[in-house]
């Protein structure tokens, strides 16, 4: 196979490898908004740092997995259409809040993020879940308590949603002394899956395979001494 064909096939393969991957969260601990939701039993914690500059906004949990890749909270822009949005990250800490074990990447939420979600009946929380991913798997000891603290880097006023009915027994909302208060959350491990490549790349890969097959067949059909300078070539 000549050099142009090799380069073309290599480019197609590299394009497939470089496709962005999907990440699926395999949940260990969670307290999701219930379905059906009981009306009037939800609260929103204000994440505006100018109002609560020192409050611990987060949730403690007790894992059964030996590691964590990501954690999700349910957030809402409390002042939609102000053109601001907000940027947030999570600090994973020991249960006594003395040590930061890992910090997630920063997640930028657009103006109006989650503003249309309703946690009362009828429930519609689509578009309000924000996933915070750590750079690598953080080792945990199953059965020990850990804390995920939500921090605001910049932006407008947001709410993080929860429920005061002790729905999660393995931890509690960090900003309250009431053990019945919990934030809605999901945490666990990520499985990254490469999505199906677009049709144009599949077509390109098929053409590359045909070119490779043609090149190989020509190599097989050449008899000893043919194809070199001065000898006949099958075409």
Domain extents in the chain: 3-15+195-221, 22-193
Predicted TM-score (pTM) of the model is 0.73
Q: What is the pLDDT of residues 119-178, one digit of tens each?
A: 887 888 989 999 999 999 999 999 999 999 999 999 989 999 999 988 899 999 998 888
Query: Are 222 and 26 contacting, i.e. CB atoms less than 8 angstroms apart?
Result: no
Structure tokens at 214: 């043609």
Tens of pLDDT along 51-62? 544 568 999 999
What CATH number was assigned to the domain covering residues 22-193? 2.60.120
Cβ-proximal residues to 33 (8 Å cutoff; 6+ apart), any chain: 74, 119, 123, 125, 161, 163, 184
pLDDT in tens, 175-207: 888 889 999 999 999 986 655 555 544 444 454
């Amino acid at each position: 196979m000549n050099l142009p064909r090799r380069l073309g096939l290599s480019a197609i393969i590299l394009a497939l490898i470089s496709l962005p991957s999907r990440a699926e969260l395999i949940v260990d601990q969670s307290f999701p908004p219930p379905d059906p939701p009981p009306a009037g039993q939800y609260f929103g914690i204000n994440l505006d740092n100018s109002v609560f500059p020192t409050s611990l906004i987060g949730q403690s949990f007790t894992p059964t997995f030996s590691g964590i890749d990501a954690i999700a909270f349910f957030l809402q822009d409390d002042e939609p259409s102000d053109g601001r949005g907000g940027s947030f990250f999570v600090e994973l800490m020991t249960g006594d809040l003395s040590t930061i074990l890992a910090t997630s990447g920063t997640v930028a939420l657009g103006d109006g993020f989650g503003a249309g979600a309703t946690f009362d009946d009828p429930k519609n929380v689509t578009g309000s879940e924000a996933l915070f991913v750590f750079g690598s798997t953080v080792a945990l000891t199953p059965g020990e308590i850990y804390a995920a603290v939500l921090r605001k880097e910049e932006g407008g006023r947001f709410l993080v949603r929860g429920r005061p009915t002790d729905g999660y027994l393995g931890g509690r909302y960090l900003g309250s002394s009431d053990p019945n208060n919990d934030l809605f959350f999901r945490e666990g491990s990520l499985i990254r899956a490469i999505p199906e490549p677009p049709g144009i790349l599949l077509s390109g890969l098929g053409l590359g395979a045909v070119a490779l097959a043609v090149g190989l067949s020509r190599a097989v059909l050449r008899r000893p001494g043919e194809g070199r300078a001065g000898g006949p070539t099958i075409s």
